[in-house]
Every structure is written in C-alpha cells, then in structure tokens.
Structure 1
C-alpha cells in the first residue's frame, strides 16, 4: 500500500529525533521517488525511517502537522482502487463492444475526387494506396486531417478509446473514473520553525544536565548586576555558591549575532557572581 496513512502512531519524541536528523544531513527539500516497482519512496529520509521501522509518509505527515514542514504537490499518480498498487497495465478498448482489438488509422482526403475515409479503407497495390471511391492511386494527392480508432471486431469507429487498467498485484480491472488519482507531495523544511525547535530542545537538555548535577533552576531566570540592573537569561542554575547563567542565541528572532554578543558582554561585565555561558 502506497497511499498516505494516519500520522497518529509517530511520537513527538520521534519527531524531535527526525528534525535533528534533517539538520545533521542539511536537508532542505524532501522529494519523492515514484516507481511502479517500489511505490513512493523518500530517499533522503529513508535511512531514518528504516532505522526506526517507520512509514516515511506517516513521519512526514506528523512533521508537517507539527509545523516543521510545508507540503507541495510534486506529482499526481494513479493507484489501484483495490490494493493501492502502482503496478498496472493500461489497455485501450472499443467504446462500443469493449474489445482490445482496435487500431488507430489516419483520416485521408483524396484531393482529386474529394473522398474522405480512414486509411484502412484504402487498399494497397504496389505500395500505392487506392482510393475506394474512384479506384485511382492517390499518389501524393491527399491530405491527412486527423485520426480515428477502428474496432477490428465490430467495425465501430471512434476518436478516443476507453482506457482500462489491470493491476498486476491483485488483478483488479478499473477505468480512469474508478481509479484513485491522488497527489504525491514534496516537503520543504521551514528553517524558522526548526531553529525554534532546536532552541527548545537545547535548553531542555541543559536544564536536565543541571538538575542531574544538583543545581536548582531559578525562575524567572533573572540576575541582578552590580549596577542594580536585572539581566534576563534563558536559564539560571544555582548550586551552593555556584551560579550558572545560560544565554542562547536564537537566529529566528530579529536580534543579529553582533547585537547578541554586545549584549552578552554587557551582562558579563555587570554580573560578577555567575559563570555566563553562551
């Protein structure tokens, strides 16, 4: 089955690891590879999906629902409506009797006598087409004005045949109206959402390390400087006489790196009783 499935079974923890995988591999666009033999694959994330035995579509849908990815239609393909396979054979059929024994023929106009008919009506003698109306070779005195299909079983003529598909996996025969014609998506990584996520995970991990090391966290994380100014940090940890202040640069905000560094230098000059870590 290659159709999209529910993303409910992919945990938030798995998505966190997935986003880190995307960052580590510098992935910005996740495009599908569509093949009748393999179905729909996403090669860039296949190693992660295989490692955790996950359906890549579930993974991508969950990440998209959480706001880390933006999807866009990459292609539209026909799936078997019974089993979801992409492996099928397309055949052309007569619109009257349903026979597969049909032939496409040119519509020929004989310019000398004005007769118009399909090429099957023109007999061939000595490599010359003979007009069925006047009995003369048409030579180069003709025009091609189109094509028609002719059923070799019931002689019916028609401009467009019926198209039917036979699934090579389950044997189901279906037409275009019965098929599942569905979009296949590519996914764009949203940098601002990912950067915000990275900050959240990094700060959470730092808090866990401090707590395991016997620190207690100061809330709100504010330290008064010798000047009397209160300085805001992302994390402040206290352990006996030790004080650690963490300031995390977030590139998703309007603050540029130069302003962040200058702000941090100002804090480190004013705050004397804490180790400041950027």
Structure 2
C-alpha cells in the first residue's frame, strides 16, 4: 500500500518514501506577472472599495433612478427606535449589517460608510486618493496583462496551458470529482479544472474588469461610445465591474485553499523558482507555464 502526500512524495507500506521529480513548470514571465497581479489586485480591491464608498449602491441601466428604483444593492444607515443601524439591501431584500456594512467602527463613534475603514485604501474617507491609487494599479494590471499575453503567444503557454481543448472539457467532470474528494494531480501540466479556472480568470474576468472600468470613464465614453452600448449603460458597467471584482476575490480565496491543500511549500517553490515537485511517475508532458 502506498500513499501520495501534498508535496508529491509517495510513502510505501514499509515507510520508504519516494519523491517525484522536480519539473520546470512556471516560466519566468508567468512568475513575474503572477506576483505583479497579486500586488496590483490587492491595491485595486481596497482602493476600489474606497471609491464605492462615495456612493455605496449599484444600479442597472444608464443612470441611477430618482423617480424609480433601479438599484440592485444599497448600503445605508437608518434611524431606528434602537438608534442608528446599518442596512444592506440586495434585490429588495433588506439585511441588518451593523458593524460591517453601512455602519461600522466602535459604538461610541460609528462610521456611516459602505465598507469599513480596514477594507479601504486609504482607511479614512478620501475619494481623490482612492482614485489615484486605483488608476495607477489599473494601468499596472493592464500593462502586465499585455506582457503576459504577448509572451504566452510566443512561448505557446496560452494555447498549451490555458485555452481549453475538447479533451480538457471531457476530463473536467472527472477532475472536479477528484478535487471534491481531495485527490489532486501533481503533474508537469495543469489539470482540466486548473485550466478552466485560469482560462476564466485570464481570458474572461481580467478583460471584463478592464473594459467595464474603461466604460465608467467619461473620457473613454467620448472616444469609444460603443463601450457604453455594449454594457447597457455606465451604471450597468459599474455593477458588472463590482461583480467581477467579487468573483476575483472568490477565486483568490479558493486559490489559497488549494495551495494549502496541495502543499504550500511546493506551490510557493513553483511560483518563485519555477520548479514543481511532481508525483512519481507523472507523465513527462512539456510545460513552461
């Protein structure tokens, strides 16, 4: 009887351990862009919440309604018989979120804002600084995405390790079941579920968050008015922008959980040195992504 641990090491019944081979899995461009994205997205998230706090509501359409209500999310404080409380309304359903959303901070000195101080950059209400930080790292994200795309087209990483092929789609249900059973592959190339996740993030969510961000810019609206039409209005674009941000945060959380489950040392080594400890007997498929 033998078992495979998270680091790709096989332990046999007699206690003898066999390590899998170190394979070069992550190219230098992939590693540099990975860490650049991580830093950029951190500042984009917190500065974006600072901008959102200037008007903590999301709408669908070209404008926020005055004589009609087209909001799908709203965070606001209200006076109640028990004093002020923070409420978050989602699709007409109202929730008391005092202490987290709409009203946060110490009871003796509450802050009436959408997201709490610890979740924004800067921590105090400063829309101008939040916009400067947000726009700077937005261009860092765009520039890094362009570098990654060009490099991935040149070295074949995009077609080999990101774009889903028919065999990946066929293997996706089996790979999902394996992950649900905490059985993870440790090979040279990405599994179908990994490829699907990276494809959605790199080829769908990243372009979508960039385009919706541009749609909210009056300057870009004047230069490219078709962007507003594509997304059904600036308010709809803002809502999609927020939802995509939430999906990227969800991906990050799942990504970190998977790193812990498959072996944090092995995963970190891969994203720092490029070398990954594969399971013994892993297929020698070529991959530098």
TM-score range, shorter chain: under 0.3
Answer with 1 or 2: which has the greater Rg: 1
Between Structure 1 and Structure 2, the one with more strand by share is 1
Q: When the two structures are superposed, what TM-score results if normalisation uses the length of structure 1?
A: 0.20
Larger RCO, structures 1/2 (Cα 8 Å, 6+ apart)? 2
Q: When the two structures are superposed, what TM-score results if normalisation uses the length of structure 2?
A: 0.19
Between Structure 1 and Structure 2, the one with more helix by share is 2
